[in-house]
A and B are shown apart, each in its own frame.
Chain A
Amino acid sequence: MAVGQSIPRVDAFAKVTGEAKYTADLVPANAYVAKIVRAPVASGWVRGFDLTEAQAVPGVVRIFTCFDVPDIQFPTAGHPWSTVPSHQDICDRKLLNAHIRVWGDEIAVVVARDRISAERAARLVKADIEVLPALSTPDEAMAPGAPCLHEEKPGNVVVHSQFHLGDGTFDEAAATPGAVVVSGHYSVPAVQHCHMEPVHSFAYMEGQKITVVSSTQIPHIVRRVCGQALGIPWSRVRVIKPYMGGGFGNKQDVLVEPLAAWLTTQLGGHAVNIELSREEVLGCTRTRHAFDWDVQAVASPDGTLLARTYCAKSNQGGYASHGHAIAANAANVFKQCYRDRVSLDSESYTVYTNRPTAGAMRGYGIPQGCFITEALTDDLAYALGMDPLEFRLKNCVQAGYVDPHNGITMHAYGLDQVLEKGRAAIDWDAKRRLYQNQTGDRRRGVGMALFTYKSNVYPISLETASCRMMLHEDGRVTVQMGATEIGQGADTVFTQMAAESIGLPVDAIDIQSVQDTDVSPFDTGAYASRQTYVSGMACKMTGESLRGKILDYAAGMLERSAEGLTITDGQIVDETGQTVLTVADVGMESCYSLTNSRHLTAEETYHCEQNTFATGACFAEIEVDLALGQIHVLRLVNVHDSGRLINPKLAEAQVHGGMSMGLGYALSEEMLFDDACKPLNANLLDYKIPTAMDTPKLEALFVEVDDPTGPYGNKALGEPPAIPVAPAIRNALLHATGVSVHSLPLTPQKLIEHFRAAGLLGGEDHV
């Protein structure tokens, strides 16, 4: 069995030795360097340029401005295209824009022979800019008289959606005798992906074909958007995706690829290289959406959840990118985790502002939605005087759940086991008792948070994936996926699936890591935790198809029926268990048979009309240093119900990475801005991702309940680990101190303010 084994990553050797080629390793030596000239304000209009000084810099090839680019607006979200116009993404930007909507907006680009010349010239480009007031928040942007960011959306609301569930109303529920009601305003900030490899693309032409080499999660979508942005047939663009150093959703957006593609067309097909600096990546690509909420919840005195209301405002920033899909997802998790016996009223706004454009990021709205869901849940349990885990067991989603709007079904259910496993691992009951009624400067607490997460985007969008395999003369098989390896280990689990489905040992499988849209089978890419579930099924189907062809050919060689033959570990075995041929025998004969040469290949598409929910929870134990406002995380345990694990060690690594991301979201990460929407901390010194020294031992536990809809019983795992950590730590703080913090991150300064207000800092500590 290849599936279920912790085989080493298939790319481990190449990556550790430096043999693996990333985009930066492939840039032609003579490539021009393009440096984007960025707006020094977040809102306004470019009225003109003075390029005299910039053009005089030695080494400058050409300077293009927002007045030179095609008058074509295009979308950037890494969504499957829809042939239905009403489902298509919003087209709201050009290659370079005269209307400035974000600080650092792309208003011109210098192309030079080297980076230093390009940077020198970029600093000398003089733009005449009419500055407009910058809008920081949805409330500011929705206020009457606010400047309009996009004429297609007067009032700046990208989308407003709402729904009601249940037969009653919140007010009716609140009128229940003894009902306990909590309500509040909560918020989370914009945060950053912090992938190691920066955003990087280069483009060149051969004849009429534009080749774009890019660090992207979504090569086939990049090809489509480049075609749209340049107004050319899509197949004139060829996108190559080499190894990449992480994306986390930032590269599930089309970023600099269309500009690189257009620039090479303007320069006779000469290679043009765009590698963003770390500061540009942090300040000028995409962020996780900041959210504000007003919520209410009511429970009966016995802790039965009766009703909730939810109003979210999602800060989209200057361009639509993934738009309302994020807010819709956040509202869904609020709905999907708990059972409101009377009613749920939900309302969401996605609003343009002059903050950096928000897009996809690991969890896609669910980390935000989980924060509000789980903070509110703990606050309600606290008000009830009820153990928050008991409250959850009484009210959380149950087996067989079907989402009332999109029909997504919880085909397998492991949440009950998750909660019990986490409860035991953290020693919940004893710790909850032990940490009651503490005094002193250091206080401890345990907290937890749960989540649900769907395993792809069906039925909201198309789900499709394809795979191709070919048998070689020596019995080895090459696998081509349209799905992308972005550091998560996709190539390794596909290798296992291919081996499993054909009947070969894993070392007989060669997976091609590079996607090339002229060659690779079609797939929409790495996002939505979909690839092992959706693309994995394409891999399995293709492997089974190839296996059938191998057996058919073997039967011909043996002059018998294929029925009863199987492939095990590269051997073709008959009904009696005897090895009758090897796959290598078939490979050789099928290529070189003088009477029946037939190259054995297989290609299958999985048109996926299935989805299912993964679930999980985080349990945190913390110690709070009151006088310094510091939270020390003593233990952090994630428990995941992601169905069967294809590679347990890789799964554990995936969980560790997500927990680290969640830890930063909890304690230290936030993008900060001045009043004019200029980022203040768009660098890795001032933007505080946790270091190794800030990270406790990360404990990853699993509950393996086979899901009947996954190729091997598996369901989503890529994004979920990042989701529950922040609310679990926030809830541990509530347990430790009785202080309910309504926002992230839980920074010391914020905590000191809360502790002071709560009277937890003694008189000695007052200044």
Chain B
Amino acid sequence: MFDIKRLYPAKDLNDALCALADDPESMVIAGGTDVLIRVREGKAAGASLVSIHELPELTGVRMEADGSIVIGACTSFARITADPIIEEFVPYLGEAVDQVGGPQTREAGTIGGNLCNGATSADSAPMLLALNAELTLQSAASKRVVPVTAFHTGPGRTVRNRDEILTEIRIFPADFQGFGGQYIKYGKRAAMEIATLGCAALVKPATDQRTVADLRLAYGVAAPTPIRCTEAETLAHGEVLTDALLGEIARTAAAHASPRSSWRASREFRLQLITELARRAIRSAWTRAGGVF
């Protein structure tokens, strides 16, 4: 029993967009794993909800002719992890979303909801940042495409307007072909957890398998929003990956991160994690991509 004023189950995307436009107090609900928590806590009690749960046009993973991977925003974490396209081309994204909460949350929760919730701890966010994913936001009146790197604006805040629905997440072949990836979620326990820190690394070795052709490093909870560490990334480009370089990348990432001290973890502890997880994530991603030391 939840304190909800209205729950409108939309028939399709257009119906949902119109419902959002019609009721200025309404908000979108997909899997409900974040929204219903706020309702239960009283923060969103009495909410008017427009449900896009399992709308077919927002659900599923497909590959387009140009090799782009398109993920419907309402696709559950569990379905993403098990999807054959994800498994073949971006398995590390499937692994990342498999770190969310527990089995029930991964069945109900969606990747779009994970992003739109705006939390810096979202397990899908660092890898999507590293993948330069593009997000399509649609309202009854308009449609726009936003890079995920420009999506988050602050803790719990994004560029999405209330009447907009995130419809799909697009990943281009240039951002995953030849890359190996690794997401490490660091929590206080091994499951049912919010990340104390999340670190995503994508690495592409050059043909010599020793030189870095491309490296992407992104974090959750290293700042008020998920972040990319471009300063650290540029250090690696064209360099041979060594322990020394890994150390330099990790230190640079820490120097440019801005984690906060909270009761969940101190800034100093998070900085330790930022450096250590960068090393471990890059090392693993590198090995997965066929790189050698």
Contacts and interface: CB of A to CB of B under 8 A. Distances in A.
Interface of A: 114-116, 119-120, 123, 627-629, 668, 672, 674, 680-681, 684-686, 688, 690-694, 747-749, 752-753, 761, 764-765, 767
Given A120-B3, A764-B247, 15 more contacts: A116-B3, A119-B3, A628-B273, A668-B188, A685-B193, A685-B194, A691-B190, A691-B191, A691-B192, A694-B189, A747-B188, A748-B269, A749-B265, A752-B268, A767-B254
A628 B276 contact: yes
B164 to A, nearest CB: 28
Nearest to A695: B190
Interface of B: 1, 3, 42, 45-46, 102, 186, 188-194, 247, 251, 254, 263-266, 268-269, 271-276
Contacts of B268: 752-753, 767
B195 to A, nearest CB: 12
B129 to A, nearest CB: 22
Nearest to B246: A764
A688 B188 CA distance: 7
Contacts of B263: 672, 674, 680-681
A692 to B, nearest CB: 8
A761 B42 CA distance: 44
9 contacts: A114-B1, A119-B3, A120-B3, A123-B42, A628-B186, A674-B263, A680-B263, A764-B247, A767-B272
Contact of B275 (A629, A688, A690, A767): A767
Contacts of B247: 764
Contact of B191 (A120, A684, A693, A767): A693
Contacts of A694: 189-191
Contacts of A628: 186, 273, 276
A764 B190 CA distance: 26
A63 to B, nearest CB: 18
Contacts of A672: 263
A748 B46 CA distance: 40
B124 to A, nearest CB: 18
Pick the 5 closest A-B CB pairs, nearest first.
Answer: A693-B190, A749-B269, A691-B191, A767-B271, A627-B276
A130 B130 CA distance: 52
A116 B272 contact: no
A628 B185 CA distance: 12
B280 to A, nearest CB: 9
Contacts of B254: 767
Nearest to A681: B263
A749 B269 CA distance: 6
Contact of A116 (B1, B194, B273, B276): B1
Contacts of B276: 627-628, 765
Nearest to A689: B189
Nearest to A277: B40
B2 to A, nearest CB: 8
B254 to A, nearest CB: 5
A627 B272 contact: yes
Contact of A668 (B1, B186, B189, B272): B189
Given A116-B3, A119-B42, A765 B190 contact: no
Nearest to B3: A116
Contact of B269 (A119, A123, A686, A752): A752
Contacts of B275: 765, 767
Output the residue of B3, B192, B264, B272 with the most chain A CB within 10 A.
B272
